[in-house]
Amino acid sequence: VTQGSTSGSRRSQRNAGQVVRPALSRESIIKTALDIVDQRGIAQLSMRKLGGELGVDPMAVYYYLPNKQALFDGLVEAVYAEIDFDIPEDGTVSWRYPLETFGRNLRKTLSQHPEMLQLVATRPVLSPNILRYSEWAIAILEAAGFTGAQAVNFVSCLRSFTVGHAFAELSEPVGAPAASEEEITAVLTERFPKLAEAITGGYRPDQQYELGLQAMLDGFEDLRPRA
């Protein structure tokens, strides 16, 4: 939560010998909140603890954000802004490229903020970062012969799959609800042998994601009018 002293730090200089508290701002509040979420979990983010972390009265953040929902929106937007959605200079990319990159890079950022998943999945935020990349993706897909409506659906489906997969990864493969690992596999082998057998190979999330991603893209390809 380190941050260089910004302008308007007259106050900071007054309390020499004390901990220097940078001036509050919407941005710094959201940054601190995201740290809390990432490190301690979404359930641990309260307006009161946020105030504590900022070294400020809990009510101080209400000057910058009207309520907790607004804070959540800010957090989601901050995560969206982190996604690497750079559009390549070189214009010659296949129609699969924007879609693959959209999925993989979204997934990468989500994996860095697993505790944000609930918020990201729940709150609709029109992030410029996403919109801009989608706009470009549509152009590429249209140039490849798809319609704009198809392109939007493709992006939407990939987003859904990626978010859903991130959730599944978070909740473990055939996870441990309360019982121990051994107990579960024991019950599985007895009652659901094929499932148990198929799982013993291990759960490889990256591989599974790539399988689903490529399958979808292969399916989309079939919709393309013949050249």
Partner DNA sequence: ACCTGAACACCGTTCAAGT
Q: How many CB atoms lie within 10 A of CB 51?
A: 18
Cβ nearer to DNA, comparing 35 with 206: 35
Q: Which residues of 27-44 are buried (b: 16+ CB within 10 A; e: fewer)?
A: ebbbebbbebbeeeebee
Contact flag: residue 56 with a copy of itself (CB under 8 A): no
Contact flag: residue 67 with a copy of itself (CB under 8 A): no
Q: Looking at 5-13, 78-86, 97-105, 155-163, which segment touches a copy of itself (CB under 8 A)?
A: 155-163
Closest approach, Cβ 71 to DNA, in A, equals 7
Closest approach, Cβ 75 to DNA, in A, equals 13
Cβ nearer to a copy of itself, comparing 17 with 202: 202
Beta strands in 134-202 (DSSP E): none
Q: Which residues of 56-84 are buried (b: 16+ CB within 10 A; e: fewer)?
A: eeeeebeebbeeeeebbbbbbbbbbebbe
47-54 and 26-40 are packed helices; what angle lies between their axes, rounded to 10 degrees?
110
* 36 and 67 Cβ atoms separated by less than 8 Å: no
Contact flag: residue 126 with a copy of itself (CB under 8 A): yes
Tell me the C-alpha distance between 102 and 146, whole Å: 17
The two tokens of residue 22 are: 């940078």
DSSP 174: S
State the binding partner of 3 from a copy of itself, DNA, none, CB within 5 to 8 A by kind: none
Closest approach, Cβ 115 to DNA, in A, equals 15
Among candidate residues 42, 90, 89, the one with its CA nearest the CA of residue 68? 42
Contact flag: residue 176 with a copy of itself (CB under 8 A): yes
Cβ nearer to a copy of itself, comparing 52 with 219: 219
DSSP 183: H
User: Rule CB under 8 A: which residues touch a copy of itself?
Assistant: 73, 117-118, 121-126, 131-132, 134-135, 138-139, 142, 147-149, 151-153, 156-157, 159-165, 167-168, 170-172, 174-178, 184, 188, 191-195, 197-199, 201, 207-208, 211-212, 214-220, 222-223
User: Rule CB under 7 A: which residues touch DNA?
Assistant: 23-24, 45-49, 51, 56-60, 62-64, 67-69
